[in-house]
Amino acid sequence: MSLLEADRINSYYGDSHILFDVSLRVERNEVVALLGRNGAGKSTTLKTLMGVIVPKSGSVRLDGEAVNGLPPYAIARRGIQLVPEERRIFGGVTVQENLKIAAMTAAKPLSMEAIYETFPRLGERKRSRGRDLSGGEQQMLAIARAMIRDARIILLDEPFEGLAPIIVRDLIHVCANLAESGRTIVIVEQNVVAALSLAHRCYILNNGHVVYEGTPARLHEEQHVVHKYLGVKV
How far apart, in whole angstroms, are the C-alpha atoms of residue 194 and residue 208? 23
How far apart, in whole angstroms, are the C-alpha atoms of residue 163 and residue 159? 9
Beta pairing class for 184-188 and 153-157:
parallel
| pLDDT digits 0-9 by tens, 116-151 | 999 999 999 999 999 999 999 999 999 999 999 988
Cβ(35)–Cβ(230) under 8 Å?
Answer: yes
The listed range with the strongest mean pLDDT (97-101, 103-107, 220-224) is: 97-101
> What pLDDT is stored for residue 234 in this prediction?
67
**Domain boundaries of the chain, sorted by first residue:** 1-79+153-234, 88-151
How far apart, in whole angstroms, are the C-alpha atoms of residue 216 and residue 193? 10
CATH of the domain spanning 1-79+153-234, picked from 3.30.450.90, 3.40.140.10, 3.40.50.300, 3.20.20.210 = 3.40.50.300
Q: Which helix (H) or strand (E) holds 77?
A: helix 72-77
| pLDDT digits 0-9 by tens, 162-180 | 888 888 888 888 888 888 8
Q: Which helix (H) or strand (E) holds 72?
A: helix 72-77
Cβ(18)–Cβ(44) under 8 Å?
Answer: yes
Burial class (CB in 10 A: 0-12, 13-18, 19+), 97: middle
